[in-house]
Amino acid sequence: MILMGTYTMPNDKTEEWKKCILDLAVNPPTVGIKKWQTFSCSDEFGYKGYNLIFTEKGQEDEALLEIGKTMFPLTQIEGTSWKLEPLMTVPDSLKVLG
């Protein structure tokens, strides 16, 4: 399963965000996670991040729990948002369309 997580963070919360990221660097998520890539950019209100998360086949439930635990501290920062969505490949999308 491939998931896309998006987050936003206001400009005035970068110190809180850095603390969470440093904690995450010490204890990265591993259970059920094959690969986790993060990209970020600035936007008009602060920062926006895009996370592509590839899960291990058969460990999707464990990966979702791990992602939730990982992102929880970041979601506690006032003004941040987090959304996680499953992605489909183009061939899978065509199967859905029939």
pTM: 0.84
pLDDT at 53: 95
Residue pLDDT, tens place only, 14-66: 888 888 888 888 888 889 999 999 999 998 888 999 999 999 999 999 999 99
The domain segmentation of the chain, as residue ranges, is 2-89
Burial zone of 61 (CB within 10 Å; 0-12 exposed, 13-18 middle, 19+ buried): exposed
pLDDT at 24: 82
SS3 state at 98: coil
The CATH class of the 2-89 domain is: alpha beta
> Residue 5: is its pLDDT beyond 90?
yes
